[in-house]
Amino acid sequence: MLNLRGALTAMITPFNGGKLDEARLREQIEYQIACGIDGLVPVGTTGESPTVDFAEHEKIIRITVETAAKRVPVIAGTGANATTEALELHRFAKDVGADACLSVNPYYNKPTQEGLYRHFMTLADKIDLPIVLYNIPGRTGITMTPPTVARLAQNKLFIAIKEATGSLDIATEIRTLCDITIVSGDDSLTLPLMSIGATGVISVLSNLMPAEVAKLAKLAETQKYTEAAALHRRLFPLTKALFVDGNPVGIKAAMKLAGRDTGDLRLPLWEASEGARKQLATEMIKLGILR
Q: Which residues are catalytic?
A: 134, 162
Indicate the DSSP class of residue 110. -
Beta-carbon contacts of 74 under 8 Å, excluding residues fewer than 6 positions away, are 39, 40, 41, 42, 61, 64, 65, 68, 97, 98, 99, 100
In 3-state terms, what secondary structure has residue 37?
coil
CA 91: distance to chain centroid? 20
Residues contacting 2, CB < 8 A, separation 6+ = 73, 99, 100, 130, 159
- Cα–Cα distance measured from residue 89 to residue 170, given in angstroms and rounded to the nearest whole number: 28
List strand residue ranges (DSSP E) for the chain, in order. Answer: 6-10, 15-16, 19-20, 39-41, 75-77, 100-104, 131-135, 158-163, 181-184, 200-203
